[in-house]
Each structure stands twice: as structure tokens, then as C-alpha cells.
Amino acid sequence: MDHSTHLIHQYCEEHSSEESTVLKQLNRYTHANVLQPRMLSGHLQGRVLSAISHLLRPQNILEIGTYTGYSAICLAEGLAPNGKLITIDVNPEIENKANQFFKEAGFEHQIQLIIGDAYQIIRTLPKQFDLVFIDADKKSYAAYFDLVMEHLKPGGFILVDNVLWSGKVIDEQALQSDKDTMLLHSFNEKIKSDDRIEKVLLPIRDGLYLIRKR
């Protein structure tokens, strides 16, 4: 992120609603104790996720990729009364701390964290979802998308994070030499050509794909 982009991002944060106290604590904890804290959704994207969830008032949300739980809390803020969010992560080391923050945020009865292989777990879920957030291993984005489309209600939304990959998706050299860049560009092309959906790629943070099932 160059200096001017950083200043614009900072300006946007300053003119957006503040994080809750729990989210501020979770943000600080992640940056102080967890590897690759850049993976955290953070203040600005978190407010976007919360706003989208509030607009939709979803009954059921699926998240693929929990990390430390920041985005799950943001999405849960917009749940319908008695709504449920299922979040899946492969890393068992995050389980206790994420559940602690879910409890502190008041969502311990609405957020269910499942540890394991998301692709296998999703196939066993009987629910249909109103909103899905994909923020996990990039090589599996296409497979996750195809799978969750089967579990998404007509008119439901899928959000996909990191689809600009620090701008590398428009860097010809990266497109030739970096595997993750190639995978994400291929995924973006897949979404672009899928006529089952309406879509808009938002240049928020590292790129957020907003997808609606027709």
C-alpha cells in the first residue's frame, strides 16, 4: 500500500463508525499475538461486512475462514433475531480464543465455530444460507464457490475477500510467476463469466467480491 493509499484508507476509517470495544481488543490481540495479522479484516472492511449483514438481516450465515474471529463478529451484528452464523477454520489453535471473543461480544449462542476441512464440512450442512463469506485458502476459492452455491438461497449473497491480492491481479509479471495471483485471477474470471449471478468487485482493502445469486 503506497503512502497516498494509506492516507485515504485512514481517512475512510476516521469517517466511518468506530469498532466496538470487543473488536478493538480483538484487533490489538491479533496484531500482538498471531502470525500474519494482515489477514484480519480490520476496521474499515469490518464495518462494510456489518453494514451488508444489517441490510440483508440474514437468518443463516456461513463463513469459510475464521482466523481470530473478527469478521464473524462483524457479520453476526446484522443477524436476524435468533439467526445463526457457522464459521469454519482448519486451525485448532484459534478455537479457544475465538470462542472467548464471541462470548465477550455477546454472540456465543449465535456463532458456531467448527474446526476442520471446510470442503468436507459444508457438504454435510443441511442449511441453506442467506449470506456466505469466503476468506480462506486461495487455491480452494473456486471449489468453495461451486459448493456454497448449492447451499445459497436464491437472492442470497456471497462475499469473497482478497480478490485483488495487493494489486497483483493486474501485474503481468505476477500473473506469470506467482501461483496465488494466477489462481485468484482465474477465480475472478470464473465469477465474471458466470451467468447465474450478479456481481461487483469492490476495491475495498484487498478487494471484496460482492456476488448475488439470481
* Residue 116 clears pLDDT 80, i.e. is over it: yes
**Could you report the per-residue pLDDT of 5-40, keeping only the tens digit for each?**
889 999 999 999 999 999 999 999 999 999 899 899
Which three cell numbers mark 108? 456465543
Extents of the domains making up the chain: 3-213
Q: What does the alpha-carbon distance between residue 144 and residue 116 come to, in Å, rounded to a whole number?
A: 14
Instruction: Specify the pTM.
Output: 0.96
Report the 10 Å Cβ neighbour count for 137. Answer: 15
* Residue 2 clears pLDDT 80, i.e. is over it: no
**Could you report the per-residue pLDDT of 121-179, keeping only the tens digit for each?**
999 998 899 999 999 999 999 999 999 999 999 999 999 999 999 999 999 999 999 99
Domain 3-213: give its CATH superfamily. Answer: Vaccinia Virus protein VP39 (3.40.50.150)
Buried b (16+ CB within 10 A) or exposed e, 60-88: bbbbbbbbbbbbbbbbbbbbeeebbbbbb
